Amino acid sequence: MIQPPSRRAALLLLACAAWPARASEDADRARRALEKGEIRPLDEILRAARAAVPGDVVAVDLKRDDGQWLYKLRILGADGKRRSVKVDAGSLKILDEDDDD
């Protein structure tokens, strides 16, 4: 029997479908940064972000800003509110969090 996808899997599929054509380039850039030790693995980033703001991660964006790698995550809380969280991709330090709504 085929099971319906979980909410998290469905959100991931939705996020992947919405990626721009540059997604492959972005993935290569992230992979190179990880291999060089400039950023931490995504599962560690997600764990740190969820510890600061519990909920389901619905979007992830990796950027390089003034020589620093940053992850910006959007998290949907159990209360239905969306929050943005910025995480230093190298140290896992939470740099900023705020409500999107």
pLDDT digits (tens, 9 = 90+) for 58-93: 999 999 989 899 999 999 998 999 999 999 999 999
Give the E-state strand segments of 1-101 in sequence order.
56-65, 68-76, 82-88, 94-99
Count of domains in the chain? 1
Task: Identify the CATH number of the domain in which residue 79 sits.
Answer: 3.10.450.40
Q: What does the alpha-carbon distance between residue 5 and residue 89 come to, in Å, rounded to a whole number? A: 29
Instruction: Tell me the pTM.
Output: 0.70
pLDDT tens per residue, range 20-69:
555 677 788 888 999 999 999 999 999 999 999 999 999 999 999 898 99
- The upper half-sphere exposure of residue 31, i.e. CA atoms within 13 Å in the direction of its Cβ, equals 6
Domain assignment present for 26: yes
> Whole domain around residue 62: which residue ranges?
22-99
What amino acid is encoded at 91 in this protein? S
